[in-house]
Amino acid sequence: MPVNLAPPDPASLAPVAGVELGYAEAGIRKAGRRDLMLMRLAPGSRAAGVFTQNSFAAAPVAVCRRHLAASDRFRALVVNAGNANCGTGEAGLAAANRTCDAVAAMLGCSAAEVLPFSTGVILEDLPVERIEAALPRCRDSLAPDHWAEAAATIMTTDTVAKAASRRVASGGARSPAWRRASA
């Protein structure tokens, strides 16, 4: 049953201080489609994770669990669409780790400060060489206002990108964007 969702208005998605998003076409599953997203986080950024309890977890889940067990400070998230890197065994773990290594080398951080994510079909090897080739284009497109592009980039079977944004005040403090919006 269609739900008639409209794609988000990019202007309605507020930037988050310390977060930049970039995207590229890597050709992971289909040519001519953005399918690789890089999120660069400011130094000192923290992360936490909630994971599937299924013992048949994808390679990126195993890598994220390991990285989060070692630290709560991260510099990047990398997400590919079109291939879940699930059910791929040691080759999948190597691909997820190689992706983290490539992001780390490009951003000047450690591989343990990178969290990898994959979405898409299962039981197919991840074409990590395509990801490595496209990462510089992700880096070159990094910007704090690319939330709508990021949402479109990580789609798999969705027919429309989904994103929402809200501004809040905490402890009486308001962000500059909140003041502009309410002035």
Write out the H or E segment, with its range, that includes residue 41.
strand 36-41
Q: Give the CATH class of 16-182.
A: alpha beta
pLDDT digits (tens, 9 = 90+) for 124-153: 999 999 999 999 999 999 999 999 999 999
The whole model's pTM is what? 0.90
Using alpha carbons, select from 124, 102, 121 the residue that is nearest to residue 111. 102
Backbone angles phi, psi at 109, to 5 degrees: -135, -175
**What's the gap between Cα 19 and its chain centre?**
11
Q: Count Cβ atoms below 10 Å from residue 2 Cβ, excluding itself.
A: 5
Mean per-residue pLDDT, 151-159: 90
- Give the tokens for residue 101: 């290594």
Mind listing the pLDDT tens digit for each residue in 70-128?
A: 999 999 999 999 999 999 999 999 999 999 999 999 999 999 999 999 999 999 999 99
- Bridge partners for 40 per DSSP: 20, 76
- What are the residue boundaries of the structural domains of the chain, listed by start? 16-182
